[in-house]
Amino acid sequence: MITLRGLTKRYGGKTAVDDLTLELTPGTVTGFLGPNGAGKSTTMRAILGLDAPTSGTALIDGRRYADLHRPLRTIGALLDAKAVHPARSGRDHLRAVALSQAIPFSRVEEVLALTGMTDAARRRAGTYSLGMSQRLGIAGALLGDPQVLMLDEPVNGLDPDGVRWIRTLLRSLAAEGRTVFISSHLMSEMERTADRLVILGQGRLIADETMERLLAGAQVRVRGPQLRPLAEILRAARWTGPDELTIAGHTTEEIGRRAHELGLVLSELRSVESSLEESYMRLTANSIEYGAQA
């Protein structure tokens, strides 16, 4: 379990994480989303004790990372797949980590096989592709057979087979009762993998919902020649065409009744499924710090 209580991190006058309170529970894959600069990496670094919080706490099973006797047996993490000595082989890298945690070398061979890296393990890590480095980093995170797993962009660089593999692995680890915490910018993959979503914007918590509830926010598409009166009374309405509105938070029955009261003629009135990308973009619309001009 990961517990954050009022976690705040400032760098000079910049607040990277602002009073973040969360509890990440076992048996769940929690996805961590947010625009660039939202504070995701800083939060993960604070959990691992790499960045000291300005205030608040970050605990793993009730203890700070620095207080864990052999931390890799409690939490496995991957923040930077290339943070490996390039002259070491993949196997020697894992063996060095294993020695530091009193983990038997037999476990090294197990995680190499689990991640599909056995044949490449004798090669120097500096020759690995990004996808191979990701697999080695995931092997390192699994080395201590931890109950908590935290991965930053785990699908980055993986081919389609690798993406499917990591998705299946993460869900199986959660099914075993482990706490799984992952960040990613790939919305379609997060939608397939995560049970729960935590979304940050400019360091603050925007949403903490199950995937089911986040996607359940009904949207209704309305078409007609004179929709402006309807748009004026429904604040959640947004124009998606000259004669088309998309409206969140209202049922087709409610909107149909309002249109009838206003005497409007509708050519289309139907519910549309909301994807994770659409829900995410709607939630973070006012929290994008590094927006590019079209």
User: Are 151 and 46 in a shared domain?
Assistant: yes
User: Are 263 and 203 in a shared domain?
Assistant: no
Residue 96 placed within a domain: yes
Phi then psi for residue 150, to 5 deg, are -130, 120
pLDDT for residue 267 is more than 90: yes
**For the domain that residue 26 is a member of, what is the CATH number?**
3.40.50.300
Can you give the pLDDT at residue 288? 66
Which positions ≥6 away from 236 have C-beta within 8 Å? 247, 248, 249, 250
User: Are 20 and 106 in a shared domain?
Assistant: yes
User: Are 181 and 229 in a shared domain?
Assistant: no
**For the domain that residue 255 is a member of, what is the CATH number?**
3.30.70
Residue 182 placed within a domain: yes
Name the residue range of residue 242's domain.
218-273
Can you give the pLDDT at residue 216? 66
Minimal CA–CA distance to 190: which of 204, 174, 171? 171
Q: Of 175, 192, 210, at which residue does a domain stop?
A: 210
Give the pLDDT band (50/70/90) at residue 276.
confident
Q: Which residue has the higher pLDDT, 44 or 290?
A: 44
Give the pLDDT band (50/70/90) at residue 261.
very high
Give the pLDDT band (50/70/90) at residue 217.
low
Which positions ≥6 away from 12 have C-beta within 8 Å? none
Average pLDDT over residues 26-51: 95
Chain CA centroid to CA 196, Å = 9
Average pLDDT over residues 29-37: 94
- Tell me the average pLDDT of the chain: 92
User: Are 22 and 140 in a shared domain?
Assistant: yes
User: Are 85 and 188 in a shared domain?
Assistant: yes
Q: Of 190, 210, 230, at which residue does a domain stop?
A: 210
Average pLDDT over residues 140-161: 95
User: Are 257 and 143 in a shared domain?
Assistant: no
Q: What is the dihedral of CA 4, 287, 50, 100, to 10 degrees?
A: 80
Residue 290 placed within a domain: no
pLDDT for residue 294 is more than 60: no
Residue 141 placed within a domain: yes
DSSP alpha helix (H) spans, 186-251:
187-193, 211-215, 228-233
Q: Of 164, 187, 210, at which residue does a domain stop?
A: 210
Structure tokens at 179: 């706490």
Can you give the pLDDT at residue 292? 52
Give the pLDDT band (50/70/90) at residue 290.
low
Of 19-23, 119-123, 191-195, 216-220, give the lowest mean pLDDT range. 216-220
Q: Could you give the number of structural domains in the chain?
A: 2
User: Are 64 and 177 in a shared domain?
Assistant: yes
Q: Which residue has the higher pLDDT, 282 or 36?
A: 36
Residue 279 placed within a domain: no
User: Are 169 and 263 in a shared domain?
Assistant: no
User: Are 163 and 251 in a shared domain?
Assistant: no
pLDDT for residue 293 is more than 70: no
pLDDT for residue 211 is more than 70: yes
Q: pTM of the predicted model, to two decimals?
A: 0.80
Give the pLDDT band (50/70/90) at residue 71.
very high
Residue 294 placed within a domain: no
Q: In the beta sheet, which residues pair with residue 78?
A: 151
Can you give the pLDDT at residue 75? 98
User: Are 109 and 172 in a shared domain?
Assistant: yes
pLDDT for residue 140 is more than 90: yes
Residue 233 placed within a domain: yes
Q: Which residue has the higher pLDDT, 156 or 288?
A: 156
Residue 292 placed within a domain: no
How many CA atoms are closer than 13 Å to the CA of 82, on its beta-carbon side? 6
User: Are 229 and 263 in a shared domain?
Assistant: yes
